[in-house]
Amino acid sequence: MTLLSVKNITSFYGASQALFDVSLDVREGEVVALMGRNGMGKTTTIRAICRLTPPRAGEIAFAGRDTGRMRPHQVARLGIGLVPEGRRCFPNLTVEENIKAAARPGHWTLATVNTLFPRLADRRNQMAATLSGGEQQMLAIARALATNPKLIILDEATEGLAPVIRQDIWAAVKTLKDEGQSILIVDKTLSELLPIADRCVVLEKGRTVWSGEPQALDADVQERFLGV
Ligand code: ATP
């Protein structure tokens, strides 16, 4: 079943058009990689889905509902958990308070997110502001999971982090996939991303220019659209 349906959306920043007829779907239990070089519109697409920058035209439906008139918190409540670029936590709350503040009923609780990220369990009483960048990223993911989203969106979740932390985050993403979590993910590390993606959608200058299974993302497509 289609969980998220994005059809022909256009988005603007002032007079400047950032998205032109972008379309993509995420089915239940699927991992979809949203790809493209810097500035091609990935974050803008995510912001449109979350209604943080509402699209000017096109249609977005989530869990069978048209989100066209919704506010960002209403889309979140429908079941979209966003881990934005640059991770956002409450700096003056502890790790545990941050997770509890986000919690909604479901599989993901303080206990289960701590199993996914044991480093967070070790730091449960530490203020979020004092965590390393990688630990803050884990906390951002833990907070999104604690809302028990139908879809989690990860925007550059491993960007700029130490290799050992990146490995922990990739391991967590693989666990989520194995548990059937629907995921829309943006990441530049193709060697990690492609093995877990069920499908890829490539953006070029604000347009969807390619979509398909990762096996079909051959050297030519990678060179043309991803600069690999
Ligand atoms: P990156 O990988 O660098 O994050 P991206 O694919 O996520 O890139 P977007 O951030 O969506 O790309 O940017 C798409 C286009 O919109 C770019 O041309 C960018 O300069 C422009 N843009 C993004 N945010 C704004 C903004 N707040 N105001 C004006 N233009 C913006």
The closest residue, in CA terms, to atom 30 on ligand 1 is: 13
The C-alpha angle 100, 69, 80, rounded to 5 degrees, equals 30
Distance between Cα 81 and ligand 1 center (Å): 21
Q: Please give the average pLDDT of every successive group of 10 residues along the chain, which has 228 residues.
A: 97 96 98 96 98 97 96 96 88 96 95 95 96 95 97 95 94 97 96 96 96 93 86
Distance between Cα 19 and ligand 1 center (Å): 10
The closest residue, in CA terms, to atom 19 on ligand 1 is: 39
CA distance 130 to 112: 23
**Dihedral (CA of 116, 29, 6, 217) sign:** positive
Q: What are the residues facing 12 on neighbouring strands?
A: 17
Q: At what angle do helices 133-146 and 95-102 cross, to 10 degrees?
A: 30
In the prediction, which pLDDT does 130 show?
Answer: 95
Domain that holds residue 185: 2-225
**Dihedral (CA of 83, 87, 91, 94) sign:** positive
Distance between Cα 113 and ligand 1 center (Å): 31
Return the ligand 1 atom nearest residue 41 CA: 11
List the structure tokens of 139. Answer: 């906390």
In the prediction, which pLDDT does 87 show?
Answer: 74
CA distance 214 to 202: 11
Residue among 165, 182, 184, 154 at smallest CA distance from 33: 184
In the prediction, which pLDDT does 227 show?
Answer: 83
List all residues whose CB is within 6 A of at least one atom of ligand 1: 13, 16, 18, 36, 38-44
CATH code of 188's domain: 3.40.50.300
CA distance 221 to 178: 28
Contact 80, 149 (CB under 8 A): yes
Number of domains observed in the structure of the chain: 1
Predicted TM-score (pTM) of this structure: 0.95
Q: Out of 11, 43, 203, 209, give the residue to mutate to test ligand 1, the one with the largest number of ligand atoms within 8 Å of its CB.
A: 43
CA distance 141 to 134: 11
| Beta strands per DSSP E along 28-176 | 31-35, 57-62, 65-66, 80-83, 151-155
In the prediction, which pLDDT does 86 show?
Answer: 82
In the prediction, which pLDDT does 99 show?
Answer: 97
Q: Kindly report the backbone phi and psi dihedral angles of residue 208, in degrees, each rounded to the nearest multiple of 5, phi listed first.
A: -80, 115
Distance between Cα 122 and ligand 1 center (Å): 36
Distance between Cα 73 and ligand 1 center (Å): 22
In the block, tokens 């890829």 appear at: 200
CA distance 61 to 143: 24
Return the ligand 1 atom nearest residue 47 CA: 11
Q: Kindly report the backbone phi and psi dihedral angles of residue 191, in degrees, each rounded to the nearest multiple of 5, phi listed first.
A: -65, -25
**Helices then strands, each counted (H, E), the chain:** 9, 10
Distance between Cα 49 and ligand 1 center (Å): 15
The closest residue, in CA terms, to atom 31 on ligand 1 is: 13
